Amino acid sequence: AQKVTQAQTEISVVEKEDVTLDCVYETRDTTYYLFWYKQPPSGELVFLIRRNSFDEQNEISGRYSWNFQKSTSSFNFTITASQVVDSAVYFCALSEERDDKIIFGKGTRLHILP
Amino acid sequence: GAVVSQHPSWVICKSGTSVKIECRSLDFQATTMFWYRQFPKQSLMLMATSNEGSKATYEQGVEKDKFLINHASLTLSTLTVTSAHPEDSSFYICSALTGAVEAFFGQGTRLTVV
């Protein structure tokens, strides 16, 4: 069965620091998709990235970057030069091609302190 | 990106009554929609998979007689919480799947049962 583990329940950093959110996944499928979502206090899910299992290239989008390593089943997310507006809960998620269900990790609550 | 609209955004109802939540894909057809529930400070838990024209598939532990799901058209799925009780108070989120393994989420419905 698919599983997503986000070991960091809560992280607090001071503004402008870099922060990395960890995500480890389990799946028996060879074709799968990994996601990161941001959930601000309003509750709405904000899509950040989707990566398929065949694309291990790291991705950078502005201050955000993602490191996908199949060898360690990890898909970590780094925010560079963090800002107060980055404060939110971040979810890592996994979808297997067989049923398309998106299964979420427990989330990491990120506090960026001014 | 595609838009998924969920209605209502919040609802308060009396214990014992039923509440219907709608999930619409506004600019694409979704043969599959998913319903999630999120308790405060917890992750999104998948409740059921809704397929147009067929019965929903419920996750283990979810009462199908309590959470009625109807997916009557390619753009609309509804979740009805029957005989709601305070423990059903939660944040309910739907997502709609496009053909490209791309899931778009509604803005969520905050249900409070008093």
What's the pLDDT tens digit per position in B84-97? 999 999 999 999 98
Give the residue, A13 or A98, on which the prediction is more confident. A13
B62 touches chain A (CB under 8 A): no
- Residues B48, A60: Cα–Cα separation, whole Å: 34
Q: What is the DSSP code (8-state) at residue A15? A: T
Closest CA–CA distance from residue A98 to any residue of chain B (Å):
11
In a mutagenesis test of the A interface, which of B49, B105, B111, B112 is the best target, namely the one with the most A β-carbons within 10 Å? B105
Tokens of A31: 């074709």
Confidence bin at B101 (pLDDT 50/70/90) = low
Confidence bin at A111 (pLDDT 50/70/90) = very high
pLDDT of residue B100: 61
Task: State whether A100 and B97 contact (CB < 8 Å).
Answer: yes
Select the residue of A44, A50, A101 nearest B46 (Cβ to Cβ). A101
Q: Which residue from B53, B52, B35 is spatially nearest to B44, judged by alpha carbons?
A: B35
pLDDT of residue A98: 82
What's the pLDDT tens digit per position in B11-68? 999 999 999 999 999 988 888 899 999 999 999 999 999 988 888 999 999 999 999 9
Q: What is the DSSP code (8-state) at residue A63? A: T
B83 touches chain A (CB under 8 A): no
Mean of the per-residue pLDDT values for chain A? 94
pLDDT of residue B27: 87
Task: State whether B110 and A104 contact (CB < 8 Å).
Answer: no
Confidence bin at A66 (pLDDT 50/70/90) = very high
Residues B69-81 have a mean pLDDT of 93
- Residues A113, A14: Cα–Cα separation, whole Å: 5
- Residues A83, A16: Cα–Cα separation, whole Å: 6
B91 touches chain A (CB under 8 A): yes
